[in-house]
Chains A and B, each alone.
Chain A
Amino acid sequence: MGTDPQVREVRLSRFERLPWRRIILLALGVTIAATVGFGAYRTLTLPEGQRYSVSAWGDFVVLGAAQGSIYALIALGYTLVYGILRMINFAHGEVFMFGAFGSYFFASAYEESGFLERQPVLALAIILGVAIATSVVVAVLLERIAYRPLRGSPRLVPLITAIGASLFLQNTARGFFGSQTRGYAKPDFLSGKWEVLGVAFPRVRVVVFLVACVSVVLLTLFIGRTTTGKSMRAVAEDSEIASLMGINVDRVIVITFAIGGVLAGIAGVLFAMTFEAVNFYMGFQPGIAAFTAAVLGGIGSIAGAALGGLTLGLLESLGPSLILTGYHVPSPFQLKPAFTFLVLVLVLVFRPGGILGAGEAEKV
């Protein structure tokens, strides 16, 4: 200890020895919890005329869950690509939009001709098929033209390319289809509500939720049980070794994008039917929200994407209503994105890997 003349003993003062980061984090956490709790308390104890009824809370939950399901479906696409390529596919929102738009033309044609009324299930199947096909084509083209040449580049490069591709695709849709919002048809059996235990759920939103759940399950099974899924996991783990083991990495990547495209196409149709509108910029905001959801839940994990999506949807719905109302913030729902992103920042501060992610972000 005292042998090396270059080494000096340094005594840290008590100030320097304190775990500053932990203290600050703790203080921050307590403040936030207090703010949230207080806000919620005040909202729930508002005078009778101003308070939300129980059915309102129920509706908020249902609406949030339905919106969250759509986010989850899109987030699955993000998380799959990220898991394999470690890149954010910013243009995934546009893949979603093209699916919705592609199917719009069929949907509106069927509605006009009455086919949608006569054979709703068949019509819906065709519409879904078209949406899936369009989305897959766009996704695969995207990979081939914009991402494949950049494999192995520093992380910034594919990200910028993705942003550029997103801008390009959005405005291509605008050039092709015009900037007017189109109304999307909805088959009759999806309009209206279903009564369950006295609570009325809008049918289309229930369907969205169910489809999201089924998709998550199917996807997990696919990744876990099938050979292709195994290949995908292998490539996600280490693509060089995987290729040495005889896996065609290129093909696996294309399949990943394709699956993401399938999910996005389905999400596109469901989204269009829920909100009965399609336009060229409809992919942008859900795209960002879905990516936020994926990060929130822990990017790279399917359960994380699903959980993140659901959480985000609920946050968007309950955040303003539960917390901001208590502080008498005027027009709280307009602050919905601010609220959501604030939550994201906070989650990442405390759990850099997301909710289901590891406690600390990987440094690699």
Chain B
Amino acid sequence: MDPIPVRSAVRAGVVGSLVLVYVALVGLIERFADLKLVGEQVTLGRLLLFLPPFAVAYVVARPRVVAGERRVAGPRAGLVAGAVSGVVTSAVFGVAVVLADRFDVVRIRHVFIAATPGLIDFVTFERGVVVGIMILLVLGLASGALGGLAKTGDRRLTRPLAAGVSTVILLGLLQRIVPIAMQELGIEPDFLYSPRTRSLTWGGAIGLLVLAAGADVLWNRSGPETQRRIRATMIEQPAARVGILLIVLAVLVALPLLLGSVISQVLGSVMIFVLLGLGLNIVVGYAGLLDLGYVAFYAFGAYMMALLTGATLNTTTGSSAAAFSLDLNFFIAIWLVVVLAAGVGLLIGAPVLRLRGDYLAIVTLGLGEIVRVLTESRWLQPLVGGPQGMRGVTDAAIAGYSFRNPQHFYYLALAFVLLAVFVSWRLAASRIGRAWNAMREDEQVADAMGVGTTRYKLLAFAMGGAVGSLGGALFAVQIGSLTPASFQILVSITALAVVILGGLGSIPGVVAGAVVLIGLPGLLREFEEFRLLIYGAVLVAIMVLRPQGLLPNVRRMRELHEEEEAQDEWVHRFADEAAAAAAVPGGTLGVEEEDLT
């Protein structure tokens, strides 16, 4: 129950203010100043003013290690420290606001385009600088205090509240999607979303809060016991497993019917990136080969599908035939594409076999760029259409049932995703998978043990390429038209982010990663401008805070944390010894106060 040093709280407050200044200057506050979440008053912009002090206070209030002892702060200490850091955050930010105001905002605007008079007005709540800063201080105090309490308060209270608030925020952000989904299901959304402001109604918000909090309480109360029982059932009774699988499948199949074509479209894109993620997961996750040019396979699959199903080149006068094209049915062409892509994977893998991690990364990056440049080139224009691109990719129709419709496409993509999941899963559990594990952990040792690294590396590239090109081919079918603009390096980076975020080597992780990185931005189109900024921040945050990803593969997690666990063990042993030594008069180790990173 020790208090948290003021020094830390002040330091945290300064960091918080820098974060707040950053959020303001990068344009987030201004852009979302009008996005109403609940009623008319709670806008995303105001929420963004509230978040940095809250977050910083939360971090300040966490347990610290003092002299080998782990000290947890009590709620009162948390509240005080949080309040202090919150006030400091607002104070420093207020100073910045005053400076901006005095300094003639126009001049600052020449450098930072987001520093408009409108922004100053907004952060001062349209009441002038003096009153605005006072409001900011109060807001900072409150949010900081809440943040400190959130960390140090009673878990039984804070967790449900957190669940409730996050649900409200999430549903507020999804204000353009959820009403449509509700209407598709036949429910009138008016009680939840006000038709006038598009935001959540106050009644609806409070209801949601209570519901979500209640659900969390129930889950926790039964929690560990129920989870254990569910897991036991799943292990003991294979019938239950099949049952759950069928239920999941049924839900997946029913989704587009329930949610309408707009959401189905997003789901279709998510499916494509799940495919890309699965393929990259084979190369990076299983075999440990860092591939930064995965877009090469994606483009190959897309253009190959176009060429094999009779797509034409766009020209300035209309269209013309490609130098080489066949008019195959989709269901024949897709396998041809997959086989050819596997071949290309072998071709790409062969020269890079002996390259080590970073070299491999840059070479694969280069290969991705080569493919992009080739698709745009005038040289290959007679084949792939150059800058104008191609059109008329097949819509994979079966007896008139066209798959280009978003809802239908989802089923096509789902079928292939299930196939790819199955293949990945069997690969991981097979001898090949074990060879990859060995190769990934230590190539030299694997070689010495007789694992033919050459062969397995090539296999990884071939399989990864095949799955990736599958994604590309489906993409071509989804859109029907191809331009080189869709095959930039960003696709490679996004695919990598999907795999990393989800957890290397984990199939559920790939799905989770795709849902978060493709699904959410697809549903929250308002954030399109900041999508890459958020991608970058998420990548860094994940790597620093949780490198095993969201749904990690248990084995990999152990690999990553081997050292940490060994170290923890040592620290604990050391702490025990230190405690024992401290009990002896005249013999202490002057360990300085340290934060637990």
- A contact set with B: CB distance below 8 Å: 82, 86-88, 105, 145-146, 149-150, 152-161, 163-172, 174-178, 288, 291-292, 295, 299, 329-331, 334-338, 340-342, 344-345, 348-349, 352, 360-363
Q: Using CB atoms and an 8 Å cutoff, list the residues of chain B in contact with chain A.
A: 22, 25-28, 110-114, 284, 288, 290, 351-352, 354-359, 361-363, 365-367, 369-370, 373-374, 376-379, 443-444, 493, 496-497, 500, 504, 530, 532-533, 535-540, 542-544, 547, 559-560, 563, 597
Contact assessment for B357 and A155 in the assembled complex, using a CB-CB cutoff below 8 Å: yes
Complex formed: what's the CA distance from A340 to B443 in Å? 30
Interface centre among A159, A174, A175, A338 (most CB of B within 10 A): A175
Cβ B113 vs Cβ A88 within 8 A: no
A352–B355 contact, CB under 8 A? yes
| A334 x B540 contact (CB < 8 A) | no
With beta carbons under 8 angstroms apart, the residue of A145, A164, A334, A345 that contacts B377 is A334
Cross-interface CB contact of A175 among B27, B284, B373, B444, cutoff 8 Å: B27
24 intermolecular pairs with C-beta atoms under 8 Å apart: A86-B358, A105-B110, A154-B559, A155-B357, A161-B539, A163-B539, A164-B535, A164-B536, A165-B539, A168-B536, A172-B533, A175-B114, A288-B365, A292-B362, A292-B366, A331-B377, A331-B378, A335-B377, A338-B370, A342-B366, A342-B370, A345-B366, A348-B351, A352-B354
When the two chains form their complex, are residues A171 and B377 in contact, meaning their CB atoms are under 8 A apart? Answer: no
Asked whether A146 and B544 contact (CB < 8 A) given A88-B361, A176-B114, the answer is yes
For residue B447, which residue of chain A has the nearest CB?
A363
Note all chain A residues with C-beta closer than 8 A to B363.
341, 344-345, 348
Asked if B361 and A159 make an inter-chain contact with CB atoms under 8 angstroms apart, the answer reads yes
> Which of B533, B540, B560 is A171 in contact with, Cβ under 8 Å?
B533
Instruction: Name the A residues within 8 Å of B288 (CB-CB).
Output: 156
The 6 closest A-B pairs by CB, nearest first: A164-B539, A168-B536, A341-B366, A167-B536, A175-B26, A171-B533
* Given A164-B543, A335-B373, A345-B367, 9 further pairs, Cβ under 8 A: A155-B358, A159-B290, A159-B358, A161-B544, A167-B493, A167-B533, A174-B533, A337-B366, A338-B370
Do the beta carbons of B540 and A335 come within 8 Å of each other?
no
Interface contacts (Cβ under 8 Å), in number, total: 167
Is there contact, CB below 8 Å, between A348 and B359? yes
Which residues from chain B contact A155 at a C-beta distance below 8 Å? 357-358
- How far apart are the CA atoms of A88 and B560 in the complex, in Å? 20
B362–A149 CB distance below 8 A: no
Residues from chain A with a CB closer than 8 A to the CB of B444 are 363
Bound Cα distance from A336 to B372, whole angstroms: 12
Query: Smallest CB–CB gap between A320 and chain B, Å?
Result: 11
The answer, among A82, A291, A335, A362, for a CB contact under 8 Å with B356, is: A362
Assess whether A330 is in contact with B532, with CB atoms less than 8 Å apart.
no
**A154, A155, A169 pick with most chain B CB within 10 angstroms:** A154
A149 and B544 within 8 A (CB): yes
Q: Which residues of B contact A176 (CB under 8 A)?
A: 25-26, 111-114
Q: Shortest Cβ distance from B502 into chain A, in angstroms?
A: 13
Give Cα distance in the complex from A359 to B37, angstroms.
Answer: 61
Q: Give the CA-CA distance A166 to B352 in the complex, in Å.
A: 25
Contact between B369 and A338 (Cβ–Cβ < 8 Å)?
yes
Instruction: Give the residues in chain B near A145, CB-CB below 8 Å.
Output: 540
- Which residue from chain B places its CB closest to the CB of A334 in the assembled complex? B377
Give the CA-CA distance A295 to B366 in the complex, in Å: 12
For the complex, give the distance between the alpha carbons of A292 and B367 in Å.
12
Which residues of B are found within 8 Å of A299, using beta-carbon distances?
358
> Which of chain A's residues has its CB closest to B541's CB?
A164
Q: A169 to B362: give the CA distance in the assembly, Å.
A: 20
Residues of B contacting A337 in the complex (Cβ-Cβ under 8 angstroms): 366, 369-370, 373
**A88 to B357 Cα, complex, angstroms:** 10
Task: State whether B532 touches A171 (Cβ < 8 A).
Answer: yes
**Contact pick for B537, options A164, A288, A338, A352, CB 8 Å:** A164
Output the nearest chain A residue to B376 by Cβ-Cβ distance.
A334
B360–chain A nearest beta-carbon distance, Å: 9
> A169–B532 Cα gap in the complex (Å)?
10
User: Which chain B residues border A152 with CB–CB below 8 Å?
Assistant: 563
Across-interface contacts of A331 in B (CB, < 8 A): 377-379
A345–B290 CA distance with the chains assembled, in angstroms: 15
* Distance A172 CA – B544 CA, assembled complex (angstroms): 19
A151 to chain B, nearest CB (A): 11
Min CB gap A281→B, angstroms? 11
B500 touches A330 (CB 8 A): no
The interface residues of chain B lying within 8 Å CB-to-CB of A349 are: 351
Given the known interface contacts A166-B536, A167-B539, A170-B532, the answer about A361 and B560 at a Cβ–Cβ threshold of 8 Å is no
Instruction: Please measure, in the bound complex, the distance between the C-alpha atom of A352 and the C-alpha atom of B353, giving whole angstroms.
Output: 10
A335: chain B residues at CB < 8 Å are: 373-374, 377, 379
Chain A residues with CB under 8 Å of B537's CB are 164, 168
Are B362 and A361 interface neighbours, CB within 8 A?
Answer: no
- Chain B residue with the shortest CB-CB distance to A174: B533
Which residue of B352, B366, B373, B379 contacts A329 across the interface (Cβ within 8 Å)? B379
A340 to B370 alpha-carbon distance, docked (Å): 9
Q: How far is it, in angstroms, between the C-alpha of A295 and the C-alpha of B27 when the chains are bound? A: 37
Q: Which interface residue of A156, A174, A176 has the most chain B CB atoms within 10 A?
A: A156
- Contact B536 A348, beta carbon cutoff 8 Å: no
Of all chain A residues, which has the CB nearest B371? A338
Nearest residue in A to B351 (C-beta to C-beta)? A349
Nearest-Cβ distance from residue A349 to partner chain B, whole angstroms? 5
Interface residue from A164, A177, A334, A342 paired with B111 (Cβ < 8 Å) = A177
Choose one: A153, A292, A361; the contact of B355 (CB below 8 Å).
A361
Instruction: Give chain A residues whose Cβ lies under 8 Å from the Cβ of B366.
Output: 292, 337, 340-342, 344-345
- Return the contact of A334 from the options B113, B361, B378 (Cβ within 8 A): B378
B471 CB, min distance to chain A CBs, angstroms: 20
B539 x A160 contact (CB < 8 A): yes
Least distance between B429 CB and chain A CB atoms (Å): 23
Q: Which A residue's beta carbon lies closest to that of B348? A: A345
- Taking a contact as CB atoms under 8 Å apart, the answer to whether B540 and A146 are in contact is yes
Select which of B112, B376, B547 is within 8 A of A153 by beta carbon: B547
Tell me, in angstroms, the Cα distance from A329 to B381 when the chains sit together.
11
Is the pair B543, A157 in contact by a Cβ cutoff of 8 Å? yes
CB distance from A35 to the nearest CB of B (A): 15
Q: How far is the CA of A331 from the CA of B378 in the complex (A)?
A: 6
Interfacial chain B residues near A159, Cβ < 8 Å: 290, 357-358, 361
Task: List B contacts of A345 (CB < 8 A).
Answer: 351-352, 363, 366-367
